[in-house]
Amino acid sequence: MKNLKSYIDQHKNRFLDELVELLKIPSISADVAYKNDVLKTADVIKIALEKAGCDKVEICETPGYPIVYGEKIINPKLPTILVYGHYDVQPADPLELWDSPPFEPIIKTTEIHPEGAIFARGACDDKGQMYMHVKAMEFMTSTNQLPCNVKFMIEGEEEVGSESLSWYVKRNQEKLANDIILISDTGMIANDIPSITTGLRGLSYVEVEVTGPNRDLHSGLYGGAVANPINILTKMIASLHDDNNHITIPGFYDNVENLSTDERAEMAKAPFSLDNYKKALDIEEVYGEKGYTTNERNSIRPTLDVNGIWGGYMGEGAKTVIASQAFAKISMRLVPNQKWEDITELFKNHFESIAPKSVTIKVTPHHGGEGYVTPIDTIAYQAANKAYTETFGVPAIPQRSGGSIPIVSLFEEELKSKTILMGFGLNSDAIHSPNEHFGIFNYLKGIETIPYFYKYFTEMSK
């Protein structure tokens, strides 16, 4: 790639300014109050794709938020890369825990990012990482070095389950035909240890409701004599793990693949410091399923976590009350072969079966999706690895991630193509949390590495 470094050097301030402008728009897909901002973000992406040299850029309407699509087909005989990303972001709350407002991006240095990092909601997940692809495209088209065909597909509902994208993909198989799907929406081990994400976990997300008496009661007059839904709910939730932190739902582990001793030994070679891990989170000790390491617990093993729980009196001071209802949101991270709809059903049946007759239970499934494993004996993996070697000076380490991008398994089903996950974020970038940020080093390294993937993937496909 000719002049890549100098191009980035020359344009890096503009690259940063453009990302800052994008980050100012609060494109929170979960909250309808931000509808216009989400739509406006789609327009901004459309213009950016046009400027980057895409032809046929369109805002594709769906039942929900639109998909921004753009392509550049230089020769139908050459391979086609489909780039996927998302322009929506997570809600920013709790706002009071941000050191600077989430939609007023600022650049600050940190211990891990001595060259500076952009602080804003969506900086890393996924506006910053998605925009690297737009700028890499700009470089390749404006210097006449685009080696293959490209299609961009940027959605606005990833953080709420990608329902409209599934709708869109099922209706546009031909238009979206490709040789490989390229995504930057994951992380890497450290700025000097690049890695390629080779696995994503699946997800089943449910909401539960426990109802006891038909109204809130005086906790003195009725306490002890009727079921307290909050007591019952917490007791039921506590029973979902045993003393070894195994999940107790019958059948839950039936399809979980067991890695061989060799595979686990291979995994354990990835650089990881438990001390640094604990220090970064301010915890004395880690916690999890007996018999597995921290890295295994958050990648190859399924989990069950309460994400939110509420009910009863939560105002100031004390109110003596037995609430009529209690609620919780629960996520289960799944591993390949566990089908999310089956697991949702297992959860529902089990949860209903362990409830005492004194309450009624309602389980409402939210969204879900299957996990994914990227094969590493492919041209795409080799091309990505070669690209990292070129720009980082060392090869990439394959690593399974604990996060989920449920649409990836649907891509494989509907488009019959594999995905390569070239993530440039760090776990410490605080995605979904207050003070989310993305390193300037990571942003620019991403822009530099992506064109090499195009180059090597095209060369190796011959």
Binding site for ligand BES (CB under 6 A): 125-126, 158-159, 161, 185-187, 200, 203, 367, 401, 403-406
187 binds, among ligand BES, Mn ion, none (CB under 5 to 8 A by kind): ligand BES
- Selected from 88, 125, 157, 429, the binder of Mn ion by CB under 5 A is 125
In the complex with ligand BES, the residue whose CB is nearer, 123 or 148, is: 123
CB of 202 closer than 8 Å to CB of 368: yes
Residue nearest to ligand BES (CB): 403
CB of 365 closer than 8 Å to CB of 348: yes
In the complex with ligand BES, the residue whose CB is nearer, 200 or 420, is: 200
403 binds, among Mn ion, ligand BES, none (CB under 5 to 8 A by kind): ligand BES
Q: Give the integer Cα–Cα distance in Å for 295 and 267.
A: 8
161 binds, among Mn ion, ligand BES, none (CB under 5 to 8 A by kind): ligand BES
In the complex with ligand BES, the residue whose CB is nearer, 185 or 448, is: 185
- Residues whose CB falls within 8 Å of the CB of residue 373, separated by 6 or more in sequence, listed in order: 198, 199, 336, 400
CB of 436 closer than 8 Å to CB of 425: no
Q: β-strands 80-86, 180-183: how paired?
A: parallel
Least distance in Å: CB of 7 to ligand BES? Answer: 28
> Tokens 């004194």 map to which residue?
358
Least distance in Å: CB of 155 to Mn ion? Answer: 10
Question: Strand order of the sheet with strand 117-119?
Answer: 106-108, 117-119, 437-439
Q: β-strands 55-60, 217-218: how paired?
A: unpaired
Q: Give the integer Cα–Cα distance in Å for 106 and 79.
A: 39
199 binds, among ligand BES, Mn ion, none (CB under 5 to 8 A by kind): none
- Residues whose CB falls within 8 Å of the CB of residue 278, separated by 6 or more in sequence, listed in order: 284, 285, 286
| Of 194, 190, 13, 27, the residue nearest 107 (C-alpha) | 13
186 binds, among ligand BES, Mn ion, none (CB under 5 to 8 A by kind): ligand BES
CB atoms within 10 A of CB 71: 20
229 binds, among ligand BES, Mn ion, none (CB under 5 to 8 A by kind): none
Residue 179 binds Mn ion (CB under 5 A): no
Residue 157 binds Mn ion (CB under 5 A): no
Q: Is the dihedral of CA 375, 379, 383, 386 positive or negative?
A: positive
Least distance in Å: CB of 13 to Mn ion? Answer: 26
In the complex with ligand BES, the residue whose CB is nearer, 37 or 126, is: 126
In the complex with ligand BES, the residue whose CB is nearer, 16 or 405, is: 405
DSSP, collapsed to helix, strand or coil, labels residue 413 as helix
Residue 126 binds Mn ion (CB under 5 A): yes
> DSSP assignment of 409-421, as one string?
HHHHHHH---EEE
| Of 329, 323, 264, the residue nearest 299 (C-alpha) | 264
In the complex with ligand BES, the residue whose CB is nearer, 27 or 149, is: 27
Least distance in Å: CB of 432 to Mn ion? Answer: 6
237 binds, among ligand BES, Mn ion, none (CB under 5 to 8 A by kind): none
404 binds, among ligand BES, Mn ion, none (CB under 5 to 8 A by kind): ligand BES
One-letter amino acid for residue 165 of the chain = L
Least distance in Å: CB of 298 to ligand BES? Answer: 10
Least distance in Å: CB of 90 to ligand BES? Answer: 7
Least distance in Å: CB of 274 to Mn ion? Answer: 26
Q: Is the dihedral of CA 215, 219, 221, 223 positive or negative?
A: positive
If residue 439 lies in a helix (H) or strand (E), which one and from where to where? strand 437-439
Residue 41: φ, ψ to 5°: -60, -40
Q: Give the integer Cα–Cα distance in Å for 288 and 247.
A: 11
Least distance in Å: CB of 205 to Mn ion? Answer: 13
- Dihedral of CA atoms 376, 381, 386, 391 in degrees, nearest 10, equals -110
In the complex with Mn ion, the residue whose CB is nearer, 88 or 179, is: 88
> Tokens 């993996």 map to which residue?
381
Least distance in Å: CB of 281 to ligand BES? Answer: 16
In the complex with Mn ion, the residue whose CB is nearer, 185 or 448, is: 185
In the complex with ligand BES, the residue whose CB is nearer, 70 or 403, is: 403
Residue 185 binds Mn ion (CB under 5 A): yes
In the complex with Mn ion, the residue whose CB is nearer, 118 or 230, is: 118
Determine the size of the site formed for Mn ion (CB under 5 A).
3
Least distance in Å: CB of 203 to ligand BES? Answer: 6
Q: Give the integer Cα–Cα distance in Å for 213 and 205.
A: 27
In the complex with Mn ion, the residue whose CB is nearer, 311 or 425, is: 425
Least distance in Å: CB of 405 to Mn ion? Answer: 7
Quick one: angle between helices 407-415 and 163-171, nearest 10? 10
Residues contributing to the site for Mn ion (CB under 5 A): 125-126, 185
